[in-house]
Chains A and B, each alone.
Chain A
Amino acid sequence: MTGIIEATGLTKTYGRTTALDGLDLSVAQGEVHGFLGPNGAGKTTTLRILLGLLRRDAGEVTVMGRDPWTDAVDLHGRLAYVPGDVELWPNLTGGEAIDLLGRLRGHLDPARRDDLVERFDLDPTKKGRTYSKGNRQKVAIVAALASDAELLLLDEPTAGLDPLMEVVFQDVIGRMTQEGRTVLLSSHILAQVEKLADRISIIRDGVVVQTGTLVEMRHLTRTTIEALTVEPVTGLEALAGVHDPQVGDRRVRFSVDGEHLDATVKHVAGFGLRGLTSHPPTLEELMLRHYGSELDRNAGAVR
């Protein structure tokens, strides 16, 4: 089955800077796809290419089966977008901007609009120039979510929202996916993606370095094990896939690759288990694994 977004080998350069360097991305119908990466990794550039606002230098991309550059207008009638940095017209009120953007897209559900305005606690009578960053973002979110778009492209949509509003946002997005809509959610806020996303793509330096469900990724990566045993554990270092073992007297702590988890736990169990805790890798650890080398390199440069 082809996804609602299919991109292969996307490349985009600005002068001498390479923003995207052969990016592959696949988003399936009806899923919330987390698009994770640090600032400057190429998330916004990717979204702008998916919107036909930027032209790709190389690679293939389809959105809902069509080319976003040539069929931009038709596609835009079926999708909604929340920019990362929302700029509003200084002398238009938030309510006017919401209505305008909805009408330009071609559809706006007035009841849903009013409901969203209320839920997000937005004052629609204020002029664009008087809104804070968070409130500008709310205007764009309401405008996007009040539509009946099949696909939502959200670029760090909650970066300026307070935690309360973030809960509202998560709730609304959950409702939308129940209606069968597809969401591409770019973020560097890991916890948010963890709560919402069915699948995740991690982008780094213009390339997607990993894609999959959270479970798959955790399987692929290391789990941290802490065990209390009856007898001191020996022979851990010899096992395949075990990292950073810290062996104390009847207490051991190490991390282990997903594929070697079974064998390692059996080995430890042989010494008589009195307590066992395991931490699945958090997204922070997933990210660190992919950015770890870079961090090391930067750290090296500083030294």
Chain B
Amino acid sequence: MTATLTPTSDRAAAAPSGHVLTGTGTLLRFMLRRDRIRLPAWLLGITLFTLASVAALPDLYPSAADRQARATLMENPGTRAIGGPGYGLDDYTFGAMIGHEFLSWIAIFVALMSIFVVVRHTRLEEETGRAELVRSSRVGRHATTTAALSAAFGANLVLGALLAVSLGSLGLESVGWGGSLLFGAGLAAIGVVFAAVAAVTVQLNEHARGASALAGAVLALAYTLRAAGDMAEVGGNTLSWLSPIGWAQQTRVYVDDRWWPLALALGLTVVFVASAYWLSTRRDVGAGLVQTRPGPAHAGDTLATPLGLAWRLHRASIVWWSLAMFVFALGYGTLASEVERFVSEMSVIQDAVADIGGTIIDAWLAIIVLVFAVLAVVFAVLAAARARSEENSGRAEPVLATAVSRTRWLGSHLVVALAGSAVLMAITGLGLGISVAGALGDNGLIGRVLGATMAHVPAIWLVTGIAVALFGLASRAMPLVWIVVVYAGLVGWLGQLLQFPAWAIDLSPLGHTPLLPAEGMRWPPLVVLSLLAIVLIVVGLAAFRRRDLESAA
């Protein structure tokens, strides 16, 4: 480690001492060394997900008529809000589809990756006090920020290249090399902008979590502006042009291949980066520009049990997740009135619907509900993973040194994860139900949709159980659960549409839930899923009681 930080070759070639960028190269190499697994995982994950989705298009839309059916759906403002502005609709090629169906979704992940890279290497380092150690050596004032931004920019360039090469080499009709290059560049530009946004938010908030949340809020704003603009008008209006995500879509990639909107992203990046440097000179190491307010000197009544503590730690995240899922559910529900017409013109979806059974609306609802269930799984696993970060940071130790058993401590986080995910599904069911019922004028749908969302709860709990069992056996094994989550996500998004073989769907815990309201209710799978979840949770709790606590230091 020490060798990585101060290689002798660097000393010899170092910039004049006192330079604000001294040590940037060393820090950059150190950051890349620390992220040698995390960053490639992000890059490969995003690339493979994009590739798999795009490669599926010819199966989903075998004929130009199928694609054109999809294009007519873009006349609905709700579809444009979720997808994109609507361009190239006269001849809705695969390329135009990629720009609508995938770009804005992938943009979210690219932006998140960039935000995490920057926050992790700047504010988190300061918060833990490690930055102080680094800054006390021969490291310039702006070296850390510069190195973190370089790492994030570099990652986005690599990602852009990976996307361009992988999509270009697919040889799909209308998906040429030039367009693929622009597609990769557009997403990279979004990533670069949000890396710069994060560089600013880490100056403002002295807490890594807060800085990430602030940058995430900017991302949500960018998405909302684009959605609002695209909703208002086919092709988008001024609001779309206020959003970095909008700029990437306004390149009209694969149709007109305009490069110049990306110049806006470049300009904004310069502004944000300059602001970040300027702000960083206005504050002390470890401090933020926004002061934290004092809190209560005494704990409230709820903060008296492990469960009270767990609730307090998860509270903010549950509130935000609930809000986001409710809004998305409402938004999706408004599409209900268009779905029937759309599906009747599309052969593949008709096949899938026939496969699932029930009416077109019911089948569509079943698929949407499954997508939300995957999101709830992500929440539940993140909530369970909180126990791991509490343990590794050393915050679990003082609690477990009081009269709190291991089972009660882990159980409290688990109760929040399980109950929280059930609440999320209930809220989703209500949001989707209310808006579908409104769109179709059938209030009976509220109850049916709610039933459909709640039917997924046992499967969500099963995945949570896997996470807890892994955690109990060894804290470091817990991230393996993400393999299950990603697989369930893939099967959930594409399994029914592409008609994956039965065994592949069965392999996903979520593949066993009856697809209400299209299918009939079947209790046995839910009972089995619940029992398995209980077994895994018991295994996790018992194993955790038997192992050493893995505190830092």
Residues of A near any B CB (own CB < 8 A) = 44, 48, 51, 53-55, 72-74, 76-77, 80-81, 83-93, 95-101, 103-106, 123-127, 129-130, 133, 140, 143, 153
Q: With contacts A73-B403, A103-B304, A104-B403 known, is A96 near B299, CB below 8 A? A: yes
**Once bound together, how far apart are the Cα atoms of A106 and B404, in whole Å?**
9
Chain B nearest CB, measured from A298 CB (Å): 18
Chain B nearest CB, measured from A254 CB (Å): 43
Within 8 Å by CB of B298, from A80, A88, A90, A95, lies: A95
Mostly helix, strand, loop or mixed at chain A's interface?
mixed
| Residues of B with C-beta under 8 A to A99 | 298-299, 303-304
**Once bound together, how far apart are the Cα atoms of A101 and B129, in whole Å?**
24
Q: Are B299 and A76 in contact (CB under 8 A)?
A: no
Q: Are B296 and A88 in contact (CB under 8 A)?
A: no
- Interface positions, chain B 289-303, Cβ under 8 Å from A, are 292, 294-300, 303
Q: Are B303 and A96 in contact (CB under 8 A)?
A: yes
Q: Are B398 and A83 in contact (CB under 8 A)?
A: yes
* Of listed A87, A127, A143, residue having the most chain B CB within 10 A: A87
Q: With contacts A83-B397, A100-B309 known, is A95 near B296, CB below 8 A? A: yes
Within 8 Å by CB of B405, from A72, A81, A124, A130, lies: A72
| Residues of A with C-beta under 8 A to B298 | 95-96, 99, 124
Q: Are A104 and B305 in contact (CB under 8 A)?
A: yes
For the complex, is B127 an interface residue (Cβ under 8 Å from A)? yes
Q: Are A85 and B394 in contact (CB under 8 A)?
A: yes
Q: Which residue of B lies closest to A103 (CB)?
A: B304
Q: Are B394 and A53 in contact (CB under 8 A)?
A: no
> With contacts A85-B552, A93-B297, A125-B294 known, what are 5 further pairs, Cβ within 8 A?
A54-B548, A55-B548, A95-B295, A101-B398, A106-B403
Q: Which residue of B lies closest to A110 (CB)?
A: B298
- Interface positions, chain B 206-252, Cβ under 8 Å from A, are 206-207, 209
- Interface positions, chain B 521-553, Cβ under 8 Å from A, are 546-549, 551-553
Q: Which 5 A-B pairs have the closest CB atoms?
A: A99-B299, A125-B294, A93-B295, A77-B403, A95-B297
| Residues of A with C-beta under 8 A to B397 | 53, 83, 87
Interface size, chain B (Cβ < 8 Å): 40
For the complex, is B37 an interface residue (Cβ under 8 Å from A)? no
Q: With contacts A87-B393, A124-B297 known, is A100 near B303, CB below 8 A? A: yes
Give 17 pairs: A residue, B residue, CB < 8 Å, sorted on A. A48-B549, A53-B551, A55-B546, A73-B404, A77-B402, A83-B398, A84-B553, A85-B553, A90-B209, A92-B303, A93-B294, A95-B297, A96-B298, A105-B402, A125-B294, A129-B292, A130-B292
| Residues of A with C-beta under 8 A to B309 | 89, 100
| Residues of B with C-beta under 8 A to A123 | 294
**Once bound together, how far apart are the Cα atoms of A55 and B543, in whole Å?**
13
Chain A nearest CB, measured from B20 CB (Å): 27
| Residues of B with C-beta under 8 A to A77 | 402-403
Q: Which residue of A lies closest to B403 (CB)?
A: A77
- Interface positions, chain B 168-215, Cβ under 8 Å from A, are 206-207, 209
Within 8 Å by CB of B207, from A90, A92, A96, A104, lies: A90
Chain A nearest CB, measured from B211 CB (Å): 12
For the complex, is B509 an interface residue (Cβ under 8 Å from A)? no
Chain B nearest CB, measured from A129 CB (Å): 5
Q: Which residue of B lies closest to A45 (CB)?
A: B548
User: 0/1 per residue, B102-128, Cβ < 8 Å to A?
Assistant: 000000000000000000000000010
| Residues of B with C-beta under 8 A to A84 | 553
Q: Are B395 and A89 in contact (CB under 8 A)?
A: yes
Q: With contacts A72-B405, A93-B294, A104-B306 known, is A129 near B127, CB below 8 A? A: yes
For the complex, is B473 an interface residue (Cβ under 8 Å from A)? no
Q: Which residue of B lies closest to A87 (CB)?
A: B394
**Once bound together, how far apart are the Cα atoms of A89 and B294, in whole Å?**
14
Q: Are B292 and A127 in contact (CB under 8 A)?
A: yes
Chain A nearest CB, measured from B252 CB (Å): 44
Chain B nearest CB, measured from A60 CB (Å): 18
Q: Are A125 and B404 in contact (CB under 8 A)?
A: no
**Once bound together, how far apart are the Cα atoms of A73 and B400, in whole Å?**
8
Chain B nearest CB, measured from A69 CB (Å): 9
**Once bound together, how far apart are the Cα atoms of A88 and B547, in whole Å?**
23
**Once bound together, how far apart are the Cα atoms of A89 and B209, in whole Å?**
12
